[in-house]
Amino acid sequence: MKKNFTAWRRQIERSEIMAAYKDEQRGTWYVSFHYYDWTGKNCRKVKRGFKTKREATEWERHFRMKEAADLDMTFEEFVQAYTRDMMPKLKHNTWLTKEHILRTKLLPYFKDKKMRDIRPKDIIQWQNEQISYRDEKGKPYAPTYLKTLQSELSALFNHAVRFYELKSNPVVKAGPLGKGKAEEMLFWTKEEYLKFIEAVKDKPYSYHAFQILYWCGLRVGELLALTPQDIDFDNKVIRITKSYQRLEGKDVITDPKTPKSKRNVSMPDFLCEELKDYIGRLYGILPTDRIFHLTKSFLHHEMTRGAEKAGVKRIRIHDLRHSHVSLLINMGFSALAIGNRVGHETEKITYRYAHLFPTVQNEMAEKLEIERMTKKA
């Protein structure tokens, strides 16, 4: 299955180069291209009379998406069309995640079914298979993962409805699967973190990585992408401009998760001094070299080692970010200030961490009570 999927990608990359040409006599633009319909037949198309190059290439793109479609095709054949349409638009790491789910969780079940014949009952049967899955240790899929699987399947059918004239999305009619967020948000109190960090102090690279994650609230990818030139020791600021991913066996530097993720994070004095001393002891490091050549699996191992040694509950690496937000909330900072620091929209901070904020409603009621009891001047 993976071999076939890779072959599709290569064919798509070769065939999807869109170009427009200038008709010098008429002063307009035209497109002339070959495309493969869903049966694999090589076809040629010419269209003239566009005022701009952009109009011409846009027309070609929409033509490929609609004219090469036929919902008599199988799910497997439609995935090829979906790949052609979506792969160029997405970040590489985002597409790899989507591709993995398509290849391992969706294609094995639906591949031979025709798109137009897939009904809500088929989706419900697939949902039940995912719910009943157990790994070698007897553990089921997490509710959040089930939600992700269904979201990818629904996105594919939405694409078919929007661009390939499928009448409706059977996933919507089948109903929800899984949950959008985890049951419980774990985090360490400051006291728990201090016990943990003392336990991993014997490994400087672990110690300094965890110090940044906890006291600055960085994402793991942001931490692993840091270079010396990202650290402004004079102004005590870490500049977040990129993220690190390990994709298909290669180190890949990408843009941060969202536009708001590009930000400057101020460091407390003690952390600034610790980091300056640590980088100063890294032999031969260049301004553009990554500071932390660590893997996520290593950090996971260190989290387990440190938690057991310190006698605190085990949390995930990303939960250090939750712990940072929790600390800032307890210190009295607003959702706006916290969101700017960690690269989240204010609404997301308010929604995800509402249960951690002080009881503002109670404070309001108390002040209204005082106001009511105060005599008019």
Residue 118, token pair as written in the block? 């897939």
Is there a contact between 315 and 196 (Cβ–Cβ < 8 Å)?
Answer: no
Residue 4 confidence (pLDDT): 56
CATH 1.10.443.10 fits 190-314, yes or no: yes
Residue 325 identity: V
The DSSP code for 56 is H
Query: What top-level class would CATH report for the domain 2-174?
Result: mainly alpha
- In tens digits, the chain (377 residues) has pLDDT values of 555 555 555 555 444 556 788 888 889 999 888 876 656 678 888 889 999 988 888 888 777 666 555 577 889 989 998 998 888 888 887 888 899 999 999 999 999 999 989 999 999 999 999 999 998 888 899 888 899 999 999 999 999 988 888 888 999 989 888 765 555 668 899 999 999 999 999 999 999 999 999 999 999 999 999 999 999 999 999 999 999 988 778 888 888 877 888 999 999 999 999 999 999 999 999 999 999 999 889 999 999 999 999 999 999 998 999 899 888 888 888 888 888 899 887 667 766 676 666 555 566 677 787 877 775 54
> Where in the chain do CATH 1.10.150.130 domains reside?
2-174
Please calculate the CA angle 354-359-360 and round it to the nearest 5 degrees. 90
Residue 355 confidence (pLDDT): 62
CA distance 4 to 6: 5
pLDDT tens digit string along 237-260?
999 999 998 877 888 888 887 788
Residue 17 confidence (pLDDT): 57
CA distance 62 to 69: 11
Containing 250, the helix (H) or strand (E) segment is strand 250-254
Residue 348, token pair as written in the block? 């997301």
Is there a contact between 98 and 152 (Cβ–Cβ < 8 Å)?
Answer: yes
Query: For 221, how many CA atoms within 13 A lie in the half-sphere containing its CB?
Result: 18
Residue 90 confidence (pLDDT): 86
> Where in the chain do CATH 1.10.443.10 domains reside?
190-314
| Sheet hosting strand 21-23, strand order edge to edge | 21-23, 28-36, 42-50
pTM for the predicted model, two decimal places:
0.63
Residue 167 identity: K
Residue 363 confidence (pLDDT): 66
Is there a contact between 226 and 292 (Cβ–Cβ < 8 Å)?
Answer: yes
Is there a contact between 208 and 302 (Cβ–Cβ < 8 Å)?
Answer: no
Residue-wise DSSP of 87-151: GGGS-HHHHHHHHHHIIIIIHHHHTTSBGGG--HHHHHHHHHHHHH---TTSPPPPHHHHHHHHH
Containing 50, the helix (H) or strand (E) segment is strand 42-50
Residue 360 confidence (pLDDT): 55
Burial class (CB in 10 A: 0-12, 13-18, 19+), 157: buried
Residue-wise DSSP of 145-205: HHHHHHHHHHHHHHHHHHHH--S--HHHHH---S-SS-S------HHHHHHHHHHTTTSHH
Q: How far is CA 254 from the centre of its chain?
A: 12
Is there a contact between 35 and 45 (Cβ–Cβ < 8 Å)?
Answer: yes
Residue 67 confidence (pLDDT): 57
